[in-house]
Structure 1
Amino acid sequence: MSRRIPVLAIVCLAWPLLCGRAATAQPAVDQFKGTWTLVSIRYVSPDGSSIEPFGPNAKGMLVFDGTRFATQVMAANLPKFASHNRMVGTLKEYEAISHGVVAYFGTYTVREPDRILTLHIERSSFPNWEGIDQLRKFEFVGGELRYTAANSTANPAESAQLVWKRAR
């Protein structure tokens, strides 16, 4: 009987700590929710070399609401249209925008055990993505969301590695 009291006392004292730790372990699907800003985007070749496809200082935003997502990434130095009208640009201005902007939205699912984020793309500034699913291997490191797509839009042999941080 005297042995049971100390063990019971230890369990009773440790219980709130154990429960508190369990309560703060947040499922990955919930960790996505919110607004994220782009830290970096790189296309990585099989030999390990990489490029910044949107140049240095690219800007981007990614939003998850629990079932839907929206994202856009833009080069930092996009040219202004001489006409001041987005519907009246030169071929060079349109080419720069096409190369320097990508935006898409849809729904998403998370396979937590595999750490796979699947983006079900409804609409995209790159129409070839519409109606397809894209898989991303993800991890949360500190306050960052890091994910990798198996291929980039520029070269199927390259992977696209993106790092996002929570917006403030």
Structure 2
Amino acid sequence: MSHLWWLCFALDKLTKPLKQQVVGTWTLTSGSEKLANGKTVVPWASGNLMLDSTGHVAFFLMGKDRPKTVANPRVPIGPVLAYYGTYTVDESTSTLTYNVESSTSPAFDGAVRKQKVVLSGDKLTTTGSPVKTSDGEIIPINEWKRAK
């Protein structure tokens, strides 16, 4: 009986559209950035990605090296990146497109962020379109696990 259940579960995952598979809350397992010189850095310690079934996205990352100070909770201490907005899915290219409404960085307000998606069970990898920073262009690569 358990083998039949597993087969049904596996077939269900294969037949579901990507849009249905990505819906949920995801917890960061690795947050890295590929630099223009080819090096990869891992500045992010934790984060969440929330994709709801109506097409809304909430995304945030907390940096590894944030100073431990007592501060005004209304003023973030970085590195930190958060934004919210809406998203669409392109099934044919396995791409999510985030339409950012507002962000902790004004440079992302109104931005369109494309994410190439690789989904394997409860693991999701997103590779973002290039981001121009004061230190040069980066490509964000985030690995997530489905929150339980």
Normalization by structure 1: what TM-score? 0.71
1:157 aligns with 2:137: yes
Which structure 2 segments of 5+ residues have no match?
A: 1-6
Cα offset for 1:44? 1.0
- Whole-angstrom CA distance in 2 between matches of 1:77 and 1:34: 28
Residues 19-168 of structure 1 mapped to structure 2, 5 A cutoff:
21=11, 25-54=15-44, 58-66=45-53, 67-82=55-70, 84-86=71-73, 97-98=77-78, 100-152=79-131, 154=133, 155=135, 157-168=137-148
Cα offset for 1:79? 2.6
- Whole-angstrom CA distance in 1 between matches of 2:62 and 2:132: 15
- Whole-angstrom CA distance in 1 between matches of 2:12 and 2:73: 52
Root mean square deviation of aligned Cα = 2.6
Normalization by structure 2: what TM-score? 0.80
Which one has a larger percent helix, Structure 1 or Structure 2?
Answer: 1
1:3 maps to none
- Whole-angstrom CA distance in 2 between matches of 1:125 and 1:23: 35
- Quote the sequence identity (%): 32
Which one has a larger percent strand, Structure 1 or Structure 2?
Answer: 2
- Whole-angstrom CA distance in 2 between matches of 1:72 and 1:128: 15
Structure 2 letter corresponding to 1:157: E
Secondary structure at 1:128 match in 2:
helix
- Deviations 1:106-152 (CA, angstroms, capped at 9, x unpaired): 00000010111100000100111111211111110232111111214
Q: Which has the greater radius of gyration?
A: 1
- Whole-angstrom CA distance in 1 between matches of 2:116 and 2:24: 19
Kept in 2: contact 1:43–1:152 (CA 8 A): no
- Whole-angstrom CA distance in 1 between matches of 2:34 and 2:64: 20
Summarize the Cα distance change of 1:157–1:85 in structure 2 as closer, same or farther, 3 Å threshold. closer
When the two structures are aligned, how many residues end up with a matched partner? 139
